[in-house]
Every structure is written in structure tokens, then in C-alpha cells.
Structure 1
Amino acid sequence: MKSMILAAFVAALALPVAAHDYGFAGVLSSNNSGEMPGITLSVGKPLAEGPITLKSGTMYELEIEADGTGELGLEGPGFFRAIWVNEVVINGLEVRPFGLESVEFDEEGEMEIEFLAIKPGQYFLRIPGSSGESQRVDITIQ
């Protein structure tokens, strides 16, 4: 009996082993990122050109730039609840928040929000208290 077990073990070791390089899976995969147009905060100028379409399960980096023409914010609680925020980078400082509801620029600056689109649906980002079409960008997560 021992010799049969030993023979089976030796035979298993002799089987060719396939070399697979699976790499990272899912969110960490290098091919799991998408491009997203930036958003500009400027008094009297549109936030972005047209609506934005994102794919659920894909990592994106949202670049927000404020030109300092006014104290402007950006809100979108529905959108921020439909994504997982990995990090927010402000002047080279990385913040890893549990979540966001809005951001605000008191002066000129840039911010990057790296996130994973999760929940499909129709969302928006807008300047708080604004009603103009150009002060809002519609975002669809497919």
C-alpha cells in the first residue's frame, strides 16, 4: 500500500506543470482602468463638454481644476454613493476617505479623485445652488 501511494506521489511530481502568469485580477489589473474627461471649475464656464459615460467595475481618475475665479464647489451625492473612492489627491497629499458628498475650492488648484465605478445608473455632478445646464455634467454608469 505504501509503495502504491509513493508511486502515485512520484507520478504526480513528474507531470508537466503549466506556467501561467495570471497577474493581478479585477480591480488591481492594469487593464482595468478607463479614461474620464476632466472637470473645470470656473465662473461662467461649463463644467465639462457633454455627458460622461463610465463602465461599472472600471477604475477612473477624475481630475478637477479650479481657476480661482470664484469659491466653487462640486456636489453629487448620488454619484459619490455609486462609486468606491480609492483616494483623493490634493497638492500631492493623498487622502483615503470612507466616502465623499462634495468638494470645494476656495482658490485656484487641482484635485484628483481615483475611484471605481460600481452602481449602474444616471447621476450628475454640479456646482451647488446652480441651475444652469453648463454648471452640471450628467454621468451614466453602465
Structure 2
Amino acid sequence: MMSVKHLLASSLLLLSASTALAEGDLTRKPVELPELILGTEESGYGLSQTEYQLETGKAYRLTVTASGLKPYALKAPAFFTSIYLRKIEVGAAEIKAVSLTELEFEDAGEAELFFVPIKPGQFPFYIDGLEHKGMTGNFVVR
């Protein structure tokens, strides 16, 4: 049987460990991911990245840039529902939303996503309607 002294010491140790893990705002120092450029080839097809390796609980910043050669609608439904979306920045606007369905670009433009993955797995992303042109990739979350 554990003595009161050992029980108190164990409780204090657990309390201090859980406090240390909870300190700070994990969303405030995001890791900048390689830019995702949509339409990297002269034809307007192609992606600059086809895979992103991520970890749960880490904050990330992803810049998505459309070349303007075609309209692009970036979709990643399973991924978008498995992240904490902190905000999206477009130009001078900062958008705060609970979730994201797609990022659509009619012309050249840029959007920055700030997020924290909360679920591990492999999550496909694609440009809607242009998958057959190879405009697909994966978010791999460990």
C-alpha cells in the first residue's frame, strides 16, 4: 500500500508534468511548409508539391498560390475535417472559420492556411476536375 507521503509526491509530479505540457499556445509558432503552387507547368497543370509530412499537435502554415493559368479548386475533405483551423489569410483579410470545404481561385492569387493536424492518417488533396491531369497529392499525418 502506498503511503500518504508517496501518494502526495506522485500527485505533485503528475500535476507538474501536465502543467508543463499545457503551457504555451501551440498555434502561435507555426512551421512553414513548402509553398503549394497550383499550375506549375506552361499548360497550367502541375503542382509544386505532391506530399506533405505532418505531425499531430504541431502548428503549420501553408501558402497556396494559384498561377492564374486556369481556375483551381483545391479540395481535401478528409484532411480539412481532421485539423484545427486557426485562420486563413487572403490579402489584407483574415478569415476565422471552424472548417474549410475548398479553396477556389478564379485568377492568380494566394491564401495562407494556419492549422494544427489533430488526427493521424493519409489524406488526399486534389484540384477538383483536374485529377486526371495529375493534380493530386497527400497530406501524411503521423
Alpha-carbon contact 1:119-1:141 (below 8 Å) kept: yes
Question: How many residues get paired?
Answer: 119
Q: Which residue does the alignment assign to 1:51? A: 51
Q: Which residue of 2 aligns with 1:25?
A: 24
Unaligned ranges ≥5, structure 1: 1-21
Aligned twin of 1:90: 90
Q: Quote the offset at 1:39 in angstroms.
A: 0.8
Quote the Cα distance in structure 1 between the aligned partners of 2:122 and 2:133.
16
Residues 48-105 of structure 1 deviation map (CA, whole Å, 9 limit, x = unaligned): 3342110100000110001111111100110101111100001121000110011100
In the superposition, relative to structure 1, how do residues 91 and 44 fare at CA in structure 2: closer, same or farther (>3 Å)? same
Q: Distance in 1 between the 2:27 and 2:51 partners? A: 27
* 131 and 88 in structure 1: CA distance in 2 versus 1, 3 angstrom threshold: same
Residue pairs, 1:66-105, within 5 angstroms = 66-105=66-105
Q: What stretches of structure 2 of length at least 5 have no aligned partner?
A: 1-19
Deviates more, 1:90-99 or 1:38-47: 38-47
Q: TM-score, normalised by structure 1?
A: 0.74
Corresponding position of 1:124: 124
TM-score normalized with structure 2 length:
0.74
Q: Which runs of 4+ in 1 moved over 6 A?
A: none
CA RMSD of aligned residues (A): 2.1
Structure 1 residue 35, shift from structure 2 partner: 3.2
State the secondary structure of the residue aligned to 1:78.
helix
Which SS does the other structure have where 1:87 is aligned?
strand
Deviation string for 1:16-46 (max 9, x for gaps)?
Answer: xxxxxx7x5252564xx32312111115432
- The structure whose Rg is larger is 1
Name 1:36's counterpart in structure 2. Answer: 33
1:27 and 1:115 mapped to 2: Cα distance? 10
1:94 and 1:69 mapped to 2: Cα distance?
25
Given the superposition, is the C-alpha separation of residues 132 and 29 from structure 1 closer, same or farther in structure 2, using an over 3 Å criterion? same
The residue correspondences of 1:56-67 to structure 2 (distance < 5 A) are 56-67=56-67
